[in-house]
Structure 1
């Protein structure tokens, strides 16, 4: 994914998605995300990091935290064939609700 310079850090786009899944869909959602990662984010030059977290105290919930070089990189990510098939396609049918939250980096160590 390359070295992150101070300039790239200050300009990077951070997206956070808390996602409520339909009841009983945790395992299927996690399988889709695991299938998506190597076909999408891992091969996209502008995707700096793609992390998905589960909450051990909360079933049917995932938290996506993603960093992109810029808006164009995010647009390429969401426009990819893998995204359309797996996330906008299969994964979308498993969710109740999600929120897209943009963040700006304040401090990084």
Structure 2
């Protein structure tokens, strides 16, 4: 078995929403995420979930085939449009990159 030279990349973003804007955030990501997945075939997984323990906190979990796929997504017009749409309801974002191991 050969090792991958360009590993899959996992991204976990913690998104904190402006209090009272949770419904707006959820509606926006429900519309945005399918569009972004469709526009970026190197995205293997791209979904958001609401944190049960922290009100107004969401996790966006992303998996990319490789670094090039992640960079295409970051530079894509679909992502830039999505960020602009979400900006009014997002208070804070923390992004962590992970190399796939299993």
Range of TM-score over shorter length: 0.7 to 0.9
1:44 is matched with which residue: 37, 40, 46?
40
Length, aligned pairs only:
100
Which piece of structure 1 moves more, 76-85 or 18-27?
76-85
Alignment of 1:85-96 (within 5 A): 85-86=81-82, 88-96=83-91
Alignment of 1:15-94 (within 5 A): 15-86=11-82, 88-94=83-89
CA RMSD across the alignment: 2.0
Asked whether the 8 Å contact 2:7–2:67 carries over to 1, the reply is no
1:6-57 deviation digits (Å, cap 9, x = unpaired): 967x710111101111101111111111111221113421001112110234
Measured in 2, the distance between the counterparts of 1:23 and 1:32 equals: 16
Measured in 1, the distance between the counterparts of 2:49 and 2:58 equals: 6
Q: TM-score, normalised by structure 1?
A: 0.79
Moved over 6 A (4+): none
